[in-house]
Every structure is written in structure tokens, then in C-alpha cells.
Amino acid sequence: MILKRLSTYIKTQQRVDEVTLLKHFHLKQNGLAPMIEILIGSGHVQKTVSRRGEQLSAHVFYSWQENQVIPMTVLL
């Protein structure tokens, strides 16, 4: 049930950062990770990790792809 809601939320937003997902669904990162992996495996959700230097933590985004794509994570 939450997996469907998560998928629908990402599809509606088109691009959402991980912090927003955690707050919206009241999850911790270790609870979100396995669900996101399932959605990435489906081919509609893509993960983008923006490394912001050594002093700052990486910024993670999830975006919706209407057409199925090869599951991947993009590092910037």
C-alpha cells in the first residue's frame, strides 16, 4: 500500500528530494531504501545523487520516467 502511494507521489511531483519523501511519509532512511530499490527496479523511478563536495553530504533526488528505462542511479 505505501509502495503504491510512494510511487504515485513521485509520479505527481516528477522530481522530489529524499528529505521531502522522508518527511512526507514519516519514514527513516533505512525504511525508505528498500521501497525505493523496488521502484527503481520497476524502471519508472530514477535516482540522482548530487555530491556537493567533501564538506557537505550528498543530495539525493528521485524522478519519475513515464517510459520504463534501464534501472540506474546517476551520480553528479
pTM of the model: 0.84
Burial class (CB in 10 A: 0-12, 13-18, 19+), 48: middle
| pLDDT, position 72 | 72
Mean of pLDDT values over 12-32: 95
Give alpha helix (H) positions in the chain: 2-13, 18-24, 29-42
Whole-number pLDDT of residue 76? 65
**All three cell numbers of 15:** 522530481
What is the pLDDT averaged over residues 64-73?
Answer: 84
The answer to whether the CB of 14 falls within 8 A of the CB of 58 is no
| Domain ranges, residue 29 | 2-75
Question: How many independent structural domains does the chain possess?
Answer: 1
Tell me the CA end-to-end span of the chain in Å, nearest whole number. Answer: 32
